[in-house]
Amino acid sequence: MQATIGVTKKRPAAPRPAAAPSEKPVFGARAARVATLLSLALLCAGPAWAATPHTRELAGIPVDFILFAATLVGVALFHRHTLGIAVGGLLVITAYKLGFTGFREGPGATGLVAHLGHEWVILANLFCLLMGFALLSRHFEKSRVPLVLPRFLPDDWKGGFVLLVMIFVLSSFLDNIAAALIGGAMAHQLFRAKVHIGYLAAIVAASNAGGSGSVVGDTTTTMMWIDGVHPLQVLEAYIASGVAMLIFGIPASIQQHRYSPILKNTRSDVRVDSIRVGIVALILVAAVVTNVVMNVVYPDIAGVFPFIGLAVWLSIFVTVPVRRPDWEVLPDTFKGTIFLLSLVTAASMMPVEKLPDASWHVAMGLGFVSAVFDNIPLTALALKQGGYDWGYIAYAVGFGGSMIWFGSSAGVALSNMYPEGKNAIAWVRSGWHVAAAYVIGFFVMLAVQGWYPQPKHETPRATPKAELSTAAISRAAT
């Protein structure tokens, strides 16, 4: 999770571009709404295949999942009240588990305290990254770098596509939250603050796709690396994510060009604020270096304290004397951060103890589940179970969350910058190309690479056996 850039006038807390115009949807609005709600309910119920025997069920579905699904449906329908619904859902789920089922760590208040003690590092890191990277994105925007980009980008739809590719590359070594926010800041300038919802979905998809094949590009792939998965096994995910980049990137860029074309020229007297660029670089380097050092050199203590979040905020405070951050963005960012943490905490309470037997079908399904369910516990369960081809898991849990705005921390962070993105129905309808790209990318990888489950700590095959890939798919299907 996975993850969250010389003007002196006070600016608004966050850019609020105009909402995308209504356009003829791929499916009818009513069909899209029904399909989305059914998908949310079914995906949340899916993990009940392996729920604990101590859960209480209604019509064969654990009540925990019903409550969580109701929360997600509420978020999807009432996008103007997402924070209240998410917090309310967390409180209801917590009360239910306190009164009836208890937690994995134990019953009652003791179990709740133990559970939060187990989750607090992940939650604290997410909080620090989302809040800190919001300040980073404003530093980046005020550095004026986005204003000089029109000199180098094509002035038609291909300019928007090149911007998505840049986000993809950035997220291969940066946190996906930072990549999405930097991309959002660039889009705000390049498209005159008018960014189509379909293009917002593509920015999130590019940030998640770019990190899916890198062990330092996403929290989930870093988890795999720590647990012993060879980096080359994760690298295979770029077969799928590279194809997906083309599938969603081109139509999204055309959508954006028709809605608000890219700036064709820029003022020749624009000067980049190199100090702000240096601050952005310092914050990002601090996050990346801390991530690598803690997980490679000190893995035993990496999970006991939010070191990455602390490194980000230390970098911010150290640079305050040279450039004041836009503290004004924090109140709105705080609301979005609490929203995400509420959903992540609620997801961590779900009684999922194991996944179905490993197969490419299950790996593909995890991508859809990760659109509504926190991908960190899903990754932890897959690592515990074993038997997967890890490139598929990296792609599925890394990219799958892009299909809905609250499916990944990058989506939540970008929606704090562009509040109209919090309309889940509009996100699914206008960002239809993201779901299509996920499916097509997955099957292209299956055809090219085949399905080769490998033990952790084992170097993957140097080249896929192309002549066996069709047979491999046939065996997997049976």
Q: Which of 178, 284, 231, 174 is nearest to 394 (CA)?
A: 231
Band of the pLDDT at 381, cuts 50, 70, 90?
confident
Give residue 376's pLDDT: 76
Give residue 200's pLDDT: 97
- The mean pLDDT of the chain is 82
Crossing angle of the two packed helices 274-296 and 176-190, in degrees rounded to 10: 160
Band of the pLDDT at 467, cuts 50, 70, 90?
very low
**Largest Cα span, the chain:** 68
- Report the SS3 class of residue 151: helix
Q: Average pLDDT, stretch 390-408? A: 92
Is 131 within 8 Å of 409 (Cβ atoms)?
Answer: no
Q: Which of 297-301, 319-323, 413-417 has the lowest mean pLDDT?
A: 297-301
Q: For 156-236, where are the alpha helices, taking DSSP H only?
A: 157-170, 176-190, 197-211, 219-226, 231-235
Give residue 28's pLDDT: 42
> Which one is predicted more confidently, 1 or 104?
104
Q: 404 Cβ partners below 8 Å, 6+ apart? A: 76, 371, 372, 411, 424, 427, 428
Band of the pLDDT at 471, cuts 50, 70, 90?
very low
Integer Cα distance of 68 and 326 in angstroms = 35
Give residue 25's pLDDT: 40
- Record the tokens describing residue 88, joined without a space: 């309310």
Residues comprising the chain, all counted: 478
Q: Which of 448, 468, 472, 420 is nearest to 16 (CA)?
A: 420
Q: Which of 208, 220, 256 is nearest to 434 (CA)?
A: 208
CA atoms within 13 A on the CB side of 153: 29
Is 139 within 8 Å of 282 (Cβ atoms)?
Answer: no
Give residue 21's pLDDT: 43
pLDDT of 393 strictly over 70: yes
Q: Which of 362, 354, 343, 359 is nearest to 404 (CA)?
A: 343
Is 237 within 8 Å of 391 (Cβ atoms)?
Answer: yes
- φ, ψ for residue 226, nearest 5 deg: -60, -35
Give residue 16's pLDDT: 44
Per-residue pLDDT of 118-172, as tens digits, reads 889 989 998 999 899 999 999 998 998 888 887 888 889 999 999 999 999 999 8
pLDDT of 111 strictly over 70: yes
Give residue 457's pLDDT: 61
- φ, ψ for residue 61, nearest 5 deg: -115, 130
Domain boundaries, the chain: 29-477
- Residue 403 carries which DSSP code? G
